[in-house]
Structure 1
Amino acid sequence: MKKWFLGGASFILSGSLLQQHCYAQLSLGAQLRTRTELRNGQGTPQPEGATPALFTSQRTRLTAGFSAYRIKLGLTVQDTRVWGQDASTINRTTTPDNNGFMLHEAWAEILLTDTIWKNKSLSLKVGRQELVYDDSRLLGNLDWLQQGRRHDAAVLKYESTAWMIHTGVAFNQNKENAAGTIYNPTPPGNYTANTNGGNAYKSLEFVYASRKLNKGNLSFLFFADQFSKYHTDSVDHLPVKTWEATTNNRMTTGLFYTQQFNRMAYTASAYYQFGTNANAQTVNGRLLSGAFQYSVSKAFSAGAGVDYTNADFDPLYGTPHKFWGNMDYFYVASGFGNKGLQDYYIKTKLKPGTRWALTGDVHEFYSDSEITGMSRKFGTEADVTATYALTKIIGFEAGYSHFWSTASLASPTVKNVKNASANSNWAYVMIIIRPEFLIK
């Protein structure tokens, strides 16, 4: 939309400057994503004879964006639920523990430099927002999960043709306190506070710097998150955590590198984690990864890679589903005994046309720590995924995964599943409808 103000001092402005200050753009969008899943050991092996789970979940999002001279606004509201979790005649949306309606994003980004600056900018983004950097291994929006991930934060951004430097902070509180800053990190309802099932952070700070290279990119991350300390009291002979104002401080730093050379694409990353985690344990964590993908033709590519994490490393607030197998056995809510992980994998992709794509991956998983009296091998996973774009706004996706697990994976110090099945599988079908509108 364009608006012209014809009063007072506006007459002294040139036509071009007036148009620059008064030009605005509104965007509206929606997303309806339904996913039907057959789970027979997804996340962790099931005992022999257990009945598979079958259900349909749905994510409904409404988005709005507004941009004008030196400001952008973003808003996303979403509802996530399983079909049938609410009675058809109930007079409220859902039970409190399963409430899936929420504000996913609500932010404003203010351009601190004038628009006359070319190829560089300094801006401040404040509010509820997604933090997505590099390959989303440590900081991502976890889009596969229906409810996704977001942060209440402020991020100062400097960006130029070659550089991107972001620094961000967040400070969480449960309510408007009259005094003190004690934070209870236990999430309400039936949701975990983060991917790995732990408590929410009380605060975080980070610096991210990225430098564009010739057909590549090199980035540096320093990330610190603080967790409320606690002591345990006995209430009615049961242990109860009492949260304190002081915090445990954990820090993560490292590099991410990606490069394209003719038909070969390389990625590598190395991170070190230190300090004290949410359970007051000293951390000495390491993550190393490297991979390549070779384009055999325009339609087919294949590659291989390896990931290594030791027992102390926690992959922060990333997207595990993207890296450690589609069945989410590792670094998701179902733990695996803090053993660390070695993942050796092969990935292939076939894209015969603009609408179709087919991927096939195989992972070999090993524990990085000894498992008393047992092999370190956790098992083998095979993932196949197909996507089809019916139109620009309508897409279909389907996948099948199979996990051949070992006795080590089900052992008491790892997944702790008695009489576990050695064969697990998971299948899904997903429909994604995503219309977008632009109003000028």
Structure 2
Amino acid sequence: MKHLFSAGFFYLLCMFFFRPSAHAQFTMGAQLRTRTELKDGQGAPLPQGSSPAFFTSQRSRLYAGFSGYRFKLGLTVQDVRIWGQDASTINKVTTQENNGLLVHEAWAEIMLLDTVVKNRNLSLKIGRQEIMYDDSRLLGNLDWAQQGRRHDAAVLKYETGPYTLHLGAAFNQNKENAAGTVYNPTPPGNYTATTNGGTMYKSLEYLYASRKLSAGTISFLFLSDQFSKFHPDSTGVKIWDKGAHTRMTTGMYFNNTFNKLTLTAAGYYQFGKNANAQKLSAGLLSAAFQYQLCKSFSAGLGTDYTTGGVNAAGKSHAFDPLYGTPHKFWGYMDYFYVASGFGNRGLQDYYLKTKYKAGSKFLLTGDLHEFYSASEVIQNGVSLSRKFGTEADLVAMYALTKVISFEAGYSHFWNTASLTSAAVKNISNAQSNSNWAYVSINIRPEMIFNK
């Protein structure tokens, strides 16, 4: 935290000594978010007799933004750790510092058209940044995870009236090489990159186009990401080579509200080669509606379908939801498309979602999911049931002030033998009921200085 407040003091000094130009704005804020969790099978069922986990994690962020004539700057520094992770005193002589402090965002956006041009904007955003589109299913900031997600990228943006067109690109390297561009996507200490624990991309390019509707959006996405080629050594360890395998994902998203009815639909197709050099042909289909029954209560039904499995020729049909926010879609227990894999079986999710909002301060949501495999589940030559299980999620949120909010949740999963079988999560003697509960406190003040 000392580093965070030092950075804040530095920015205040900059504001004092380096006076901004006309029409400049400086924004500064902080966030402290704690989350205390009781995990009894969250992520994957535990073996019988296992004890639940209990801990508190904390995200500490300091962010600043500066905007002036034809430019914007953004910086977010964060520290993420578990309470008690560090000793109360650290001997710097014999113990290396545990570095949980990192730069989450550091970007600049340049307005390529003069700001007096009406109804048109052409800009270039470069640097470390969050990339989010639509409902964050494929591209999101993963804000639920304390560490979040960011990309080192350049994004060219054009906006006019209801239309938006973005072109983005990224090219990753582990260090400043003297020669070559071989990239190790899983260096020691790094988080996995994709939503379901995949390796980090070597490079990425995308085109995003959207049009605003009367009360919603329709959009198109084409994304290409490349993964380092490799060969295994004598022990099976991957040795990274020159060149890359290319995977492509394309599709459309639709969301609009008609009076009291909100409709959402999406369809995406994935092809090329995945990070494991398998030929790929996979897809995702999603459709849902939410109906406002009264001013304070709404309910709706939906379904998601992602393909899975591998055919006899070795072609993979396992859809990868890229760099999104899976916690938002496939149950809060995070059994699917997060860190704990499920054998690339694909997923069928049929769900009911309800929302109760009492005034501007209190929100209660309740969801129910039925999960099935999208492909056959076979163990020892025997075909098992495709049903993975049932999940119930309950979340309550209360805003004490505009700065301080509280959140609490409880989730329960009733799993089947298919889910814990060797072909899926491979958990021997697994418990059939799993639980997860949490309480979170979020404090986020912000100050704005104008000239």
**Normalization by structure 2: what TM-score?**
0.91
2:242 corresponds in structure 1 to: 245
1:327 corresponds in structure 2 to: 333
2:4 corresponds in structure 1 to: none
Map 1:258-297 onto structure 2 (within 5 A). 258-297=255-294
**1:233: Cα distance to partner?**
1.1
Q: Does the residue aligned with 1:413 lie in a helix, a strand or coil? A: coil
Matches of 1:166 and 1:119 in 2, distance apart?
A: 16
Q: Is the 8 A contact 2:228 2:240 kept in 1?
A: yes
Residue 48 of structure 1 pairs with residue 48 of structure 2:
yes
Letter in 1 for 2:297: F
Matches of 1:38 and 1:2 in 2, distance apart?
A: 46
Q: Does the residue aligned with 2:327 lie in a helix, a strand or coil? A: helix
Residue 298 of structure 1 pairs with residue 304 of structure 2:
no
Matches of 1:119 and 1:81 in 2, distance apart?
A: 44
Q: Is the 8 A contact 2:86 2:98 kept in 1?
A: no
1:309 corresponds in structure 2 to: 306
* Residues 188-197 or 429-438, more deviating: 188-197
Letter in 2 for 1:274: F
Q: Is the 8 A contact 1:384 1:401 kept in 2?
A: yes
Letter in 2 for 1:342: Q
Segments of structure 1 that go 5 or more residues without pairing to the other structure are 6-18
Map 1:404-415 onto structure 2 (within 5 A). 404-415=414-425
Q: Is the 8 A contact 2:261 2:291 kept in 1?
A: yes
The CA RMSD over aligned residues, in Å, is 1.8
Letter in 2 for 1:254: G
Q: Is the 8 A contact 2:195 2:321 kept in 1?
A: no
Matches of 1:207 and 1:265 in 2, distance apart?
A: 26
Matches of 2:290 and 2:187 in 1, distance apart?
A: 40
* Residues 103-112 or 21-30, more deviating: 21-30
1:124 corresponds in structure 2 to: 124
1:171 corresponds in structure 2 to: 171
Matches of 2:333 and 2:303 in 1, distance apart?
A: 18
* Residues 369-378 or 404-413, more deviating: 369-378
* Residues 22-31 or 266-275, more deviating: 22-31
Distance 1:190 1:426, change over 3 A: farther
**1:190: Cα distance to partner?**
6.0
1:8 corresponds in structure 2 to: none
Letter in 2 for 1:276: K
Q: Alignment partner for residue 355 of structure 2, among 345, 349, 360?
A: 349
1:183 corresponds in structure 2 to: 183
Q: Alignment partner for residue 413 of structure 2, among 377, 393, 403?
A: 403
**1:112: Cα distance to partner?**
0.2
Matches of 1:277 and 1:97 in 2, distance apart?
A: 37
Matches of 1:240 and 1:370 in 2, distance apart?
A: 30
1:361 corresponds in structure 2 to: 367
2:214 corresponds in structure 1 to: 214
Matches of 2:97 and 2:326 in 1, distance apart?
A: 25
Matches of 1:109 and 1:191 in 2, distance apart?
A: 27
Distance 1:97 1:42, change over 3 A: farther
Matches of 1:34 and 1:177 in 2, distance apart?
A: 39
Letter in 2 for 1:435: P
**1:2: Cα distance to partner?**
12
Distance 1:201 1:190, change over 3 A: closer
**Normalization by structure 1: what TM-score?**
0.93
Letter in 2 for 1:362: L
Residue 58 of structure 1 pairs with residue 61 of structure 2:
no
**1:201: Cα distance to partner?**
0.3
Q: Is the 8 A contact 1:97 1:190 kept in 2?
A: no
Matches of 2:355 and 2:341 in 1, distance apart?
A: 30
**1:385: Cα distance to partner?**
0.1
Map 1:133-144 onto structure 2 (within 5 A). 133-144=133-144
Letter in 2 for 1:22: A
Matches of 1:95 and 1:410 in 2, distance apart?
A: 40
Q: Does the residue aligned with 2:231 lie in a helix, a strand or coil? A: strand
**1:216: Cα distance to partner?**
2.5
1:114 corresponds in structure 2 to: 114
Letter in 1 for 2:79: D
**1:98: Cα distance to partner?**
6.0
Letter in 1 for 2:101: F
Matches of 1:4 and 1:434 in 2, distance apart?
A: 26
Residue 340 of structure 1 pairs with residue 337 of structure 2:
no
Segments of structure 2 that go 5 or more residues without pairing to the other structure are 1-14, 309-317
Q: Is the 8 A contact 1:98 1:190 kept in 2?
A: no
**1:95: Cα distance to partner?**
7.7
1:153-174: CA deviation from partner (whole Å, max 9, x where unpaired): 0000001221010000000001
Paired residues, what number?
422
Letter in 1 for 2:390: T
Distance 1:154 1:377, change over 3 A: same
Matches of 1:207 and 1:109 in 2, distance apart?
A: 18
**1:223: Cα distance to partner?**
0.2
1:417 corresponds in structure 2 to: 427
1:178-222: CA deviation from partner (whole Å, max 9, x where unpaired): 110001111431632332112110000000000112223110000
Q: Alignment partner for residue 384 of structure 2, among 374, 385, 392?
A: 374
Distance 1:47 1:298, change over 3 A: same
Q: Does the residue aligned with 1:351 lie in a helix, a strand or coil? A: strand
1:366-401: CA deviation from partner (whole Å, max 9, x where unpaired): 000111221000000000000000000000000000
1:412-440: CA deviation from partner (whole Å, max 9, x where unpaired): 01000000000000000000000000011
**1:96: Cα distance to partner?**
7.0
Matches of 2:387 and 2:340 in 1, distance apart?
A: 18
Distance 1:75 1:353, change over 3 A: same
Residue 392 of structure 1 pairs with residue 402 of structure 2:
yes
**1:22: Cα distance to partner?**
2.7
Distance 1:247 1:46, change over 3 A: same
Q: Is the 8 A contact 1:233 1:242 kept in 2?
A: yes
Letter in 1 for 2:261: M
Letter in 1 for 2:124: L
Matches of 1:335 and 1:74 in 2, distance apart?
A: 35
- Runs of 4+ off more than 3 Å: 1-5, 94-99
Matches of 1:83 and 1:25 in 2, distance apart?
A: 36
Matches of 2:106 and 2:340 in 1, distance apart?
A: 30
Q: Is the 8 A contact 1:3 1:22 kept in 2?
A: no
